[in-house]
Amino acid sequence: SRGRTQNDKIAIVGMSGRFPGAANPEALWDLLERGLDVHREVPADRFDAKAHCDPSGKGKNKSHTPYGCFIDEPGLFDPRFFNMSPREAAQTDPMGRLALTTAYEALEMSGYVPNRTPSTKLERIGTFYGQTSDDWREINASENIDTYFITGGVR
């Protein structure tokens, strides 16, 4: 492997993301500048918060609050765009689908065109991610496991 020197440089030239109350980094900055509070009741399409909430905190397998911070349209994904079958997409962790979508957006934002110049050679480009949970596998471990279950995880 090549040795690192003090002259090694990194440039962040594109970024993307989904955040509670903000569909992209620009909207996130706006949200932060305005100091908005984005916590809200659990959206009805996620789960029945009333059935799974115990404000006393004593109920097993229940939340003590019906509130949280949620991204909008977490399942929005175009599998064909990523050369993925709908069957494979259905077994892919939503975080993995979101990673594919936002990686594409970040590269697009950067103006990246593969191998156009020496600085855009494939081995010089990287994308980096952060995520906050990995519960897809646990929740779906015994539910209709299909061929793509293992490769569809983000672990």
Question: Any residues with CB less than 8 A from the CB of 64 and at least 6 apart, and which?
Answer: 53, 54, 55, 56, 57
Backbone angles phi, psi at 147, to 5 degrees: -50, -35
Task: Determine the residue type at 149.
Answer: F
pTM exceeding 0.85: no
Q: What is the CA radius of gyration of the chain?
A: 20
pLDDT digits (tens, 9 = 90+) for 82-125: 999 999 998 888 888 999 999 999 999 988 877 777 777 777 77
